């Protein structure tokens, strides 16, 4: 008689929600992501990183990707087999691609949020979102990135 080995079935859990392209919609995206990841029993370290990444990508979609009367889309994919969380925020302004500014002074008025995304995500980037939009995505693993240190960020006290 053959004994069968138990099989662990890996799953990929998904969540997607359209939200208004406003500051309120960006805040709701952050709250919904935390709620969903908590319900999926994701580790607190991943939830904390994801909360900041969602906040930045959603704020960018509401501020820079806004088209009057059009929503942005938040999508989360938790892949247990790969141990990754993919965060994707899609908006309708494909001509405005996010980029970290080459000048990284604390006085620079934009791009600081992407420095945070770059520090917290293992990888991030953009891709087209047809017909004319873009998706900004970030990939987080179950543990923080170890191959690069977090950049020092000067606070209000130096």
Q: What is the pLDDT of residue 64?
A: 79
65-74, 113-122, 125-134: least confidently modelled range: 65-74
Q: Is residue 80 part of a domain?
A: yes
Structural domain containing residue 106: 12-141
- Residue 137: closest CA among 123, 147, 148, 150: 123
Please provide residue 134's backbone torsions phi and psi, each rounded to the nearest 5 degrees: -140, 160
Q: Which two tokens stand for residue 135?
A: 């998706």
Q: Is residue 155 part of a domain?
A: no
18-32, 60-74, 99-113: least confidently modelled range: 99-113
Q: What is the pLDDT of residue 108?
A: 58
Count how many domains the chain has: 1
CATH number for position 86: 3.30.565.10
Q: Is residue 4 part of a domain?
A: no
Q: Are 90 and 70 in contact (CB under 8 A)?
A: no
Residue 139, CB-side half-sphere exposure with 13 Å CA sphere: 9
- pLDDT tens for residues 2-45? 666 665 566 889 999 999 999 999 999 999 999 999 999 999 99
Q: Is residue 74 part of a domain?
A: yes
Per-residue pLDDT band at 153 (split at 50, 70, 90): very low
Q: What is the pLDDT of residue 152?
A: 44
Query: pLDDT at residue 158 above 70?
Result: no
Q: What is the pLDDT of residue 113?
A: 83
Q: Is residue 75 part of a domain?
A: yes
């Amino acid at each position: 008689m053959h004994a069968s080995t138990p099989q662990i079935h890996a799953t990929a859990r998904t969540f997607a929600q359209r939200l208004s392209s406003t500051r309120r919609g960006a805040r709701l995206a952050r709250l919904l992501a935390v709620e969903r990841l908590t319900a999926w029993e994701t580790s607190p370290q991943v939830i904390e990183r994801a909360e900041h990444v969602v906040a930045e990508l959603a704020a960018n979609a509401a501020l820079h990707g806004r088209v009057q009367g059009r929503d942005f889309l938040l999508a989360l994919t938790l892949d247990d087999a790969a141990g990754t969380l993919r965060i994707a925020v899609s908006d309708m302004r494909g001509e405005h691609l996010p980029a970290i500014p080459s000048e990284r002074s604390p006085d620079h008025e934009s791009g600081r949020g992407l420095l945070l995304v770059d520090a917290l995500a293992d990888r991030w980037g953009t891709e087209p979102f047809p017909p004319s939009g873009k998706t900004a995505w970030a990939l987080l693993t179950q543990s923080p990135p170890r191959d690069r240190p977090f950049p020092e960020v000067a606070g209000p006290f130096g």
